[in-house]
Homo-oligomer: A and B are copies of this chain.
Amino acid sequence: MLTNNKIKLIKSLKLKKNRESHGLFVAEGDKLVQEFMDSDFVLESIYTSNSKGYPEAVKVSEKELARISNLKTANSVLALFRIPDSSLQLEELNNKVTIVLDNIKDPGNLGTIIRIADWFSIETIICSKETVDVFNPKVIQSTMGSLARVRIYYEDLPSILNEFSVPLYGAVLDGKSIYKRTKLTEAAVVFGNESTGISAEIFNLVNHKITIPRFGGAESLNVAVSAGIICSELIGKPD
């Protein structure tokens, strides 16, 4: 059974300010909840309408689950996890490729980029403070569990990028073709906002401007698609 206070708390976690004050976020669905449980994330509480599985879960009715769910059709399990308390160590970035996101607004795009990072074994994503919150329920659901394996930090980008010792690449519309570059081994690659691209302040810090050559008429590619193509071409792909 769920108390009214608990229902109120869980529903309040739709908003970032409440997630921050409680230090909690919501994940729904067997696969996703399991991925977080198998990771370093700390489980706070878990609710299920399924009589099997999850010995630690509070049993709730399907109706109760529908009340606390963020999904159109509630899944059979919903869990609260603690938002990890972590801070970026710049040495983490040495000898690796890191993704930097400058003001990505769409939750689906952020979730998709986290899956791409996970696929290509990129360990760290650094987001500008204006980027959509990774603990937003829509982001969590679209990561498909990859968040359990990719570290996300929110930083003041201009100041943190100034401290980077790794070269900074930026995905732009008029840079050097990605097909003419060799594989990246130590770099941070910036992707900009869906409409406005990389902001002027960050653009000025970029050492290497890179571009996916266009062959047809489209004005741009979706930012997650660009990230996927660039990761494939410059990071994942064997020499």
Contacts and interface: CB of A to CB of B under 8 A. Distances in A.
Contact of A144 (B218, B224, B233): B218
B217 A149 contact: yes
Interface string A200-230: 0000000000001111111111101111110
A11 B117 CA distance: 40
Contacts of A121: 215-217
Counting contact residues on chain A (CB < 8 A from B), the size range is 35 or more
Interface of A: 108, 112, 115-122, 144-146, 149, 179, 212-222, 224-229, 232-233, 236-238
12 contacts: A108-B108, A118-B216, A119-B212, A122-B216, A145-B219, A146-B217, A149-B218, A179-B237, A226-B228, A228-B229, A232-B233, A233-B233
Contact of A217 (B118, B229, B233): B118
Contacts of A145: 218-219
A149 B216 contact: yes
Contacts of A233: 232-233
B216 A120 contact: yes
A117 B217 CA distance: 9
Given A232-B232, A233-B232, A237-B179, A112 B217 contact: no
